[in-house]
Amino acid sequence: MPNVLTFVIPVRHPANARNWVLVKEHLADTLRSISRQDHDGWKGIIVANHGADLPPLPVGFEVKHVDFPPNPLYEQGRADKETFYEAVREDKGRRILAGMLHAGEMGHVMIVDDDDFVSRRLTSFVARNRERNGWYIRDGYVWGEGDNWLYLYSGFSEFCGSSHIIRSDCYDLPKDIETASGAYLRRMLGSHIFIRKHLEASGQKLEPLPFLGAVYRVGHAVAHSKSQGVFRHFFLKKSLLRRPSELCRRVSRLRFRTNGIREEFFG
C-alpha cells in the first residue's frame, strides 16, 4: 500500500542561492516541521542537485539527486515579469516531477517550499479521507522570521506555494521528464496558481482543508518571492489610516505564536 501522504520539497540550485547557509537552515526547519506528523503514513522526497550541502535528514526523508542546471532567470533582471515567472515555474516543476517519479507509488502529494511549515495533523487527516481528490489550504498563517506574531490569512492557496494536497493520480504524471511539456511543468507542478482551476475543469474538484494547514515564512533574506514581513506587508500602508474598519479587521487576524502553534507547525 502506498504512503498516505508524500511531501515533495524542491530545493533550488546552489548557484541560485544568495546565501546557501540560510537556505540550509530554513530547509532544516521545514524538514523538522514535516517530521512531526502525528501519523506514520508519510514520506518526504527532497529534490536537490548533486553536491548540494544539505542538513541532516530526519527519519522518513530521502533525497532525489538531479543534475539540472541553474535557472538563468532565477532573478528577474531585465526580463519581463511573465518570462521571469515562467522560467521559475518550469525549473521548479521539473524538480518536483523528478521527485514524484522517484517516489514511485503514492497516495496524496503535498508540494512544500523549502522554507515553510506544515500542520502535524495533515497525514492523519488524509488517512481518514484517502478517497478524496484533495484539498487546498483556504486558511493558513503568514509568519515573519523572528516574529512572535502570525497573521491568519484567508485565500492562503493563492498566496503560498505550500498549499495543496492532491491525490497523485489526479496529476496524470508523464512517464519521464523528457516527455513532459513545458506547459505541464509550469501549470501543473511549478505554480500553485493554476492547479485548482485545472482540476475542477476536469471534474476533479478540490475541497478546502477544514483546518489551518501551513505557515508561509516571509520577509527573509533568501525569500525568492521578495516577500515582506507580516507587519510591513499587512499594516505599514498609508491607505489603512483612511480605512479604520479594515485596520481593525487585520488586527483581529493577528495570532500570538503560542506553544500550541509552535508544537503543531514548527516542531
Residue 183 has pLDDT above 60, yes or no: yes
Beta-carbon contacts of 147 under 8 Å, excluding residues fewer than 6 positions away, are 229, 230, 231, 257
In the chain, beta strands by DSSP E: 3-10, 42-49, 61-66, 106-111, 117-118, 134-136, 139-144, 149-154, 164-167, 207-208, 214-218, 254-256
Mean pLDDT, rounded, for 47-56: 97
Q: What is the pLDDT of residues 66-121, one digit of tens each?
A: 999 999 887 767 678 888 999 999 999 999 999 999 999 899 999 999 999 999 99
Of 2 and 138, the structure prediction assigns the larger pLDDT to 138
Residue 186 has pLDDT above 90, yes or no: yes
Share of the chain above pLDDT 90, in %: 79
Share of the chain above pLDDT 70, in %: 94
What is the reported pLDDT for 73?
82
- Domain total of the chain: 1
Mean pLDDT, rounded, for 201-208: 97
Mean pLDDT, rounded, for 55-64: 97
What is the reported pLDDT for 223?
59
List Cβ<8 Å contacts ≥24 apart for 126-130: 126/4, 126/5, 126/165, 127/4, 127/5, 127/39, 127/41, 130/4
CATH of residue 68: 3.90.550
Residue 220 has pLDDT above 90, yes or no: no
Burial 167-193 (b: 16+ CB within 10 A, else e): bbebbebeeeeeebeeebbbbbbbbbe
What is the reported pLDDT for 60?
97
Range of the domain at 122: 3-266
Of 267 and 238, the structure prediction assigns the larger pLDDT to 267
Average pLDDT, the chain: 92
Single pTM value for the model? 0.93
Bridge partners (DSSP) listed for residue 43 = 6
Coil, strand or helix at 32: helix
